[in-house]
Amino acid sequence: MSEELRREYEIGEEIGRGRFGVVRRCMERATGEAYAVKSVEKGGLMDAVDREGAGVEAKVAQLAGAGNPGVVGVRAVYEDEGWIHVVMELCEGPDLFDWIRERRGEPATEPEAAAVVAQIAAALAACHFRGVAHRDVKPDNILLDGAGRRARLADFGSAACFVPGEGGAGAMAGLVGTPYYVAPEVVAGMEYGEKVDVWSLGVVMYVMLTGGAAAPFGGDTAEEIFAAVRRGNLRFPTRLFAGVSSGAKDLMRRMMCKDPSRRFSADQVLRHPWIMSGGGLSENAI
């Protein structure tokens, strides 16, 4: 581990592990402030693309997170011959995936879902304004604070930069993301813009409102899921959505619109009446 990192931070216990990195708790020696440090071993990266992505992730996360309260902020980056270490804000709560799982099938209330969608849409709007697309929005990458009232976007390992104002077809390319959450233009091998993030957030909203019981575009294999995503036939089964408002369904239709030119932007999501009303304004919103 980097000598400079160890000199400036006291490294604590492991608190998470992903495909490429290990996350540990750490404390800044000068201030006593608690942070998290994600350490990626370069030798464990499979190819040149992965190695390049690990190096770019920290820089993109810094660009996306500066002054953006909806993104897990990067404090510092340390790199040596064998490792990349990214010191970031510490989020004490679970990620949204675990939050959904711990409810054991109980759907999120509309105010709870609206609170998460609003916060992540605001984070995405700021990212998109700066020319950053996340490209892997999913519950695992949405972190909650200890009280469960603040949601933040994390893990920019799949992110890419584009030229703001020139989004839509032609901005980015490549099959990136997670099967259930990826947008149809990505699966189709087309060039695409930042609205792929809005599609993914729409899927997150759907999953929250069904308690994780269903995804809008499912299948038993990645190929079947991709085929369902390409068809883009969005349905709201009565057994799952009987109690869900027409406003929530309208927003999901606009977020998961197959045609990117007609799909909502992150800014438009924030102006939708369902979001502006807080999904019903319950006291139990996240």
Report the percentage of the chain scoring pLDDT > 70: 89
Q: Is 42 annotated as a binding residue?
A: no
166-195 pLDDT, tens per residue?
544 447 999 999 999 999 999 999 999 999
Q: Classify residue 267: in a domain, yes or no.
A: yes
Active site includes 220?
Answer: no
One domain for residues 254 and 139? yes
Q: Which of 50, 95, 98, 136 is catalytic?
A: 136
One domain for residues 150 and 64? no
Among residues 37, 45, 23, the alpha carbon closest in space to that of 85 is found at 37
One domain for residues 270 and 194? yes
- Number of structural domains, the chain? 2
Q: Is the dihedral of CA 41, 43, 46, 50 positive or negative?
A: positive
111-123 pLDDT, tens per residue?
999 999 999 999 9
217-248 pLDDT, tens per residue?
999 999 999 999 999 999 999 999 999 999 99
Residue 283 has pLDDT above 50, yes or no: no
Q: How confident is the model at residue 3 (pLDDT cuts 50, 70, 90)?
A: confident
Q: What angle do CA 17, 23, 25 make, to 5 degrees?
A: 135
Instruction: Give the tokens for residue 157.
Output: 């390992």
269-279 pLDDT, tens per residue?
999 999 999 99
229 phi, psi to nearest 5 deg: -65, -45
Identify the DSSP state of 106: P
The pTM score is 0.88
One domain for residues 17 and 142? no
Residue 16: predicted pLDDT: 83
Q: How many helices (H) and strands (E) does the chain have?
A: 11, 9
172 phi, psi to nearest 5 deg: -140, 170
Measure the CA–CA gap between 241 and 63, rounded to whole angstroms.
Answer: 38
Single-letter code of the amino acid located at 243? G
Q: Classify residue 214: in a domain, yes or no.
A: yes
Q: How confident is the model at residue 91 (pLDDT cuts 50, 70, 90)?
A: confident
Q: Is the dihedral of CA 43, 47, 48, 50 positive or negative?
A: negative
Measure the CA–CA gap between 275 and 247, rounded to whole angstroms.
Answer: 9
Residue 29's domain spans which residues? Answer: 7-89
